[in-house]
Amino acid sequence: MNRIQALAPEVINQIAAGEIIERPASVLKELVENALDAGGTDLTVSVQDGGLRSLRLVDNGMGMSAEDARLAVRRHTTSKLRGIDDLQALRSFGFRGEALASIASVSKLTLCTKRPDDEVGTRLRMVGDDIVAEEQVGLAGGTDLLVEDLFHNVPARRKFLKTPGAEYAKLHETLVRLALPAAETSFRLIKDGKQVLHLPATSSFVARICKAFPQLLPEHLLEVSEQREEASLYGFLSGPDYSRSMARQVMFYVNGRLISDRRLGYAVQEAYRTLLLVGRHPFCVLFLNLPPDRVDVNVHPQKSEVRFLHPEQVFSLVLHTVRAALSGLGKPATASIELPSSAGLPPLPCFEPTSPRRGAGTWLPATPREPLLVQASLFDVPSPPSLPMQPELGEESGDYAETGRYYRDLVYLGQFRRTYLVCERNEELVLVDQHAAYERLNFEWLAAAYRNGRGASQDLLFPERVELGRELGADYDRLATALGRLGFVLEPFSSTSVVVRSVPEILARGDVAGLVEDAFAELTSLGDELSLGRALDNLLATMACHQSVRADQPLAEEDVRRLFRDLDTISNAHHCPHGRPIHQSLPLPELERLFKRR
């Protein structure tokens, strides 16, 4: 007997099905995409036991003839393409002709379908790869697909499935993701005989998003739109006031197709850097439209990944579009914010008491006192026009650029524990973290000074040699130039090390070697300017923290008013560079509920 043999058709089909059908959510994805390709505008999904016992999809699409139905359940039969050239111009979700055959090979499949002009429809029953029954049926039109006993003939695969509850949660998430770009299509989800989700057809993406994610309000969303040559980007994202611990609400669509792309996810993460805490993720749904010949969708069995012809351009488009939308933030969300518990939150860096603490109930009312001496700026340069450096109260300089009045509209009441500024505004109680506020303000000023390239430096008494552990190469020039604008003076010492002769004044006693090593490592790890920008942002955040007013430090009322006015001159004035909120509010109705007045 020969050692190499041809596999039996049923084995081939089950191997192929293993690449496409992993769980009930995989079945749902294939069926929904087929229904949308068929022009369906009303889709109803019914599941039992998380889709393990049964999963049914009914649509009102174009339906099929009896001949087409028999072909549709065979492998590599499709209506989406005819030749190899069609792969370069795909506009449909499906194109390989594998979905129904793969589903049928690992389940019991019933297909009912009818074209609008046909008098009767067709019903096919399949077990494995075989059509065991065919009959004519009455049907309104469209297609009705029932998948039962998934993986009944592949027990090894079935035992790796999760509980029905977990599988249903994945089904629900998948249906919502598929429904977002198809706003003009109605979707219903019925779980164990009870309707649990209805997304009515709408012409508004915002309405579809807020219906799919009830915790989101329209005022939480920022619209983004950008056109670059033949590429366009459109979508919605949340401001820093809304975030989640997981990135499940960061979604990308390419020509309407839901995809997973780590590099695009990284672009969004970079855009939110200094606005969100580490480990927090925004809501983000982006629709990228490209000519079909600039994206290859035939690179993954489930078509969930794509390959771009020019990935750097796509990355840049996403990064700069999202970043531009966030930089224009001028006011916080209007929804009430629940005061979070401090448990589990790491302390702010450099929070060291500068004087003995009073008791927990210490209250410093807003009364005149000696002005606080604020530290001088690290950079001995004039502040940029839109960022006045501690202007005098009442000064009406033409250089003062106000971007909003959120903070200047606050009525200052006093300090709590000499750390939080207690205010009121429009019938809500507002607490401002003074250290976080000064941190954001100083960060913006330092960033502006860096852009001007005039960072004050201090010579080291003993120049410090830093071993970088790799060849300097072309990256050294970029590193030296960027750090030089902050006040560092570097010189090459050997092929793998540098000598640091000067550092920024505020870091004269810091870990110089560690700072330079980290900056160089980040620069060379990704090999682009983005990594350098991340390293510099971290550096600027550290510098801003060092020169900011600390917790447990009293402030004069005039200093508070000056702080509030300065905060209104910058755009991202509601989160510190580490992503922590600068202020939290408690609306009057919630306060009254706490005291049982409502």
Q: Residue 532: is its pLDDT beyond 50?
A: yes
C-alpha count within 13 angstroms, C-beta hemisphere, residue 5: 7
The predicted model gives 369-378 an average pLDDT of 32
Per residue in 151-161, pLDDT (tens digit) is 988 888 888 88
Q: Which residues of 178-306 form beta strands (DSSP E)?
A: 186-191, 194-199, 221-228, 231-238, 250-254, 257-259, 284-289, 295-296
Q: What is the pLDDT of residue 397?
A: 31
Which band of pLDDT confidence, cut at 50, 70 and 90, is reported for residue 429? very high
Q: What is the pLDDT of residue 318?
A: 95
The fraction of the chain above a pLDDT of 90, given in percent, is 39
Which band of pLDDT confidence, cut at 50, 70 and 90, is reported for residue 130? confident
Q: What is the pLDDT of residue 45?
A: 97
Highest-pLDDT range among 236-250, 376-390, 515-529: 236-250
For residue 423, what are its two tokens? 């205010």
The predicted model gives 373-382 an average pLDDT of 32
Highest-pLDDT range among 13-17, 89-93, 540-544: 540-544
For residue 482, what are its two tokens? 């960027």
The predicted model gives 103-116 an average pLDDT of 93
The lowest-confidence range among 245-249, 399-403, 474-478, 507-511 is 399-403
Which band of pLDDT confidence, cut at 50, 70 and 90, is reported for residue 339? very low
Domains in the chain with CATH codes: 9-203 (3.30.565.10), 213-327 (3.30.230.10), 362-598 (3.30.1540.20)
Q: What one-character DSSP code corresponds to residue 39? A: T
The predicted model gives 543-548 an average pLDDT of 72
Q: Residue 188: is its pLDDT beyond 70?
A: yes
The predicted model gives 289-310 an average pLDDT of 80
Q: Residue 253: is its pLDDT beyond 80?
A: yes
CA 181, chain centre distance (Å) = 17
Which band of pLDDT confidence, cut at 50, 70 and 90, is reported for residue 148? very high
Q: What residues contact residue 332 under an 8 Å CB cut-off, 6+ apart?
A: 239, 241, 406, 574, 583
